[in-house]
Amino acid sequence: MQNIQLRKAESQDLISLQKIGKLTFAETFSSDNSEENLRLYLETAFSTEKVQGELSDENAEFYFAEFENEIIGYLKVNYGDSQTEIKSEKALEIERIYVLREFHGKQIGQMLYEKAIELAKDIHAEFVWLGVWEQNPRAIRFYEKNGFRAFDKHIFRLGNDEQIDIMMKLMLKN
């Protein structure tokens, strides 16, 4: 797909980030979760206070994918102590890659993924890791295709539902 721009999200992008975050998460997971659990998660994960904190965190970065000046997807990466589990200076966590459903299959997720790998190489990370819901085979295949391998599992809370995420890792050659 032509004319896709990636840009780093800044503090003034708070509302745009909340909007794309809620929309893409709901599109991805609403059919597999209760409305109540989804609502609880979205209220917490994308609250103004939480997103402001994430945007101001020097160890976290967001990047938007834009098409014709519209945000169609985004990436969130974490470094060091801002990683959700493995708090290694030798690692980068991909916490989120989400793309609007209408843009699935157009390589937008791959562009965001490649940005994450570029960021990992810039900091000389030895590996990149992430967690992906065990009930999301499309995402699991995407990461496997890009060389990730499962190494553990952890609990992800969606509202009052405890779900299992597969933790995956990609070793980098620096």
Is 113 marked active-site?
no
Task: Tell me the two tokens of residue 142.
Answer: 């995407």
Which of 48, 79, 49, 47 is closest to 62 using CA atoms? 79
| DSSP assignments along 22-49, one per residue | HHHHHHHHGGGS-HHHHHHHHHHHT-HH
Catalytic option among 63, 79, 98, 143: 143
> What single letter denotes the amino acid at residue 30?
S
Q: What are phi and psi of 33, to 5 degrees?
A: -140, 160
CA 13/CA 66 separation, integer angstroms? 13
CA 15/CA 13 separation, integer angstroms? 6
143 and 132 in contact (C-beta within 8 Å)?
yes
Residues identified as active-site: 143
